[in-house]
Amino acid sequence: NRASSSELQWEQQLLPSELAFLQCHRVGKVPLLPGTCYIEMARNMAVAVHGGRAFTLARAVFENIMFLDDTNLDGGPSIRLHLDRAHALVTISSRRENTAWCTNTNLALELRDAVANTSIDVAAVIARCSEQTIAGALYAAIANDYRGEFRAIAEAWGGSGCDVLGRIAYSSSARVDVHLRTCAWLDACTHAPIWFSDHQRRSSYAASVGAYHMDSTDVSSNREIWGLATADEAAWTSASH
């Protein structure tokens, strides 16, 4: 770690257990780090610097993909988080053994005031949806080979021109390696919208994100999560139970 009045920096290499878990996220058949993992990385950093304050990560462009294959050759990537405090800019970079650091993404960190309860009215959303699907049909139809805890959608509701709701469910809550469970459910929140989109059975990933809004930094409730994608604003909301 490195710190000064104007910047903070953290570096770490993925542990073998972390690497094995994250390799279950696949675009097509290729293991790579999901962009939603950057939310969890930045959340830990933001909590360390600003406590439990709500924040937004804005203008995220994924410049370089962090591939997680061929890790038997070098043990996987090292990751660097850099916070430019003067400009509230988070830069996430990675490198493999004997390679230079490359930037994966830049995110603007915007602190926000306390946010009111953002729970989802599940019954009301389902009533507006015309279609329902379950995990087997959903994961058979989208081309990304999600595995392990990333293959977590239990059922989903949507339809033409309406909101998309997904229920992410695990057999038990995670109390150890909570950061990994958080990476998995954050990504799983995107799976139902993929299914209800015109995905044409092709593999896909997000190239950029306008903003991630973190209304709460507490991720301890992680057994059942509802993910909502609103059709009118293309916005994401999640609620944990």
Q: What is the pLDDT of residues 205-219, one digit of tens each?
A: 666 677 788 888 889
- What are 86-103's pLDDT values in tens digits? 899 999 999 988 889 999
Low-confidence ranges of the chain (pLDDT < 50): 241
- Looking at residue 130, what is its pLDDT? 93
Contacts of 232 (CB under 8 A, 6+ apart): none
Detail the DSSP E strand segments found in the chain: 2-3, 7-13, 26-27, 30-31, 55-62, 78-84, 89-95, 102-111, 131-134, 153-158, 164-169, 208-214, 224-230, 235-240
- Looking at residue 204, what is its pLDDT? 66
| Structure tokens given for 180 | 């990994």
Beta bridge partners of 229: 164, 236
- Looking at residue 199, what is its pLDDT? 64
